Amino acid sequence: MAIVLGENRYGKSRVRVMKVRREGARHEIFEWNVEVWLTGDFRSCFEDGDNSQILPTDTMKNTVYSLARACSAASMEEFGIELVTHFIATNPHAQSAGVRIVSTPWKHIDGFADAFTHASDKYDTTTITLSRDGIRSVSSGFEKLWLLKTAKSAFAGYMKDRLTTLKETHDRLFGTLATAEWRYSGTDLDYNALRQRIEWALVTTFAAHDSLSVQQTLYAMAKAALEQVNEIADVHLVMPNKHCNLIDLSPFGQDNPNEIFVPTDEPHGSIEARVSRSAIGS
């Protein structure tokens, strides 16, 4: 029986960089947590310890800092494209280069041009790969976006067996900590503007949708983003059901007209799906 090396890659993770852009008295800041990697034929390194085709991961870290200083990218997608383009050009043994960036959001404190606070609890993300033959993939999204609605949410008509204790409801709280990723089609895109449009479609659909289940709302959100933004090919959503359980106050002689809940996230329902465009006639 032969023993062979399978799929592999190597790179540098958690390269944290903050860039300050000073335009007169007003400053802008960008904080990115960067992961970079290379794939290719690195068999000789793994099997024989031959490092002659290996770029040190410390050099990868330094490259992130150097390109952050030199680039004029207006979005983290554009910065990621610059990174993978550089690594493919300078590493002839690599078959592909990839980068994933998680952005920490900052906004100005009102009235101050050089002081900031966190803009939101969510984190914007992007993942970019570039192959040796020039095929590029750009996906973007967000992590840990809290969403909650106190109306237009039900869950009923589900399967029941002898172990089912959940009560049907037509008026429940619907909370989730959403993660989304969408894949762009096309090049030379305004990633910042497209992100705003996609997030608006997702969030407003969540708010307006008359939900019969988390699954149904997830699909409606992804469908709305695809219908409103032609520049994306698919949307992947992960929406854990962060339960808010109604408290029984009857032992205290009180009613509870759907007002007092206990929020809990362990255990929670786990719902995810990818929604894609279908080719005409398929």
Residue 214 near residue 241 (C-beta atoms within 8 A): yes
Q: Could you give the count of Cα atoms lying within 13 Å of 21 in the half-sphere of its Cβ?
A: 12
Note if 90 is an active site residue.
Answer: no
Note if 57 is an active site residue.
Answer: yes
Kindly name the residue from 12, 86, 122, 209 that is annotated as catalytic: 12
Residue 17 near residue 60 (C-beta atoms within 8 A): no
Residue 173 near residue 57 (C-beta atoms within 8 A): no
Consecutive H or E run containing 107? strand 106-108
Kindly name the residue from 61, 122, 209, 243 that is annotated as catalytic: 243
Report the interhelical angle of 76-90 vs 191-208 (nearest 10°). Answer: 130
Kindly name the residue from 19, 27, 57, 268 that is annotated as catalytic: 57
Burial 178-187 (b: 16+ CB within 10 A, else e): bbbbbbbeee
Residue 268 near residue 242 (C-beta atoms within 8 A): yes
Stated length of the chain: 282
Residues with catalytic annotation?
12, 57, 243
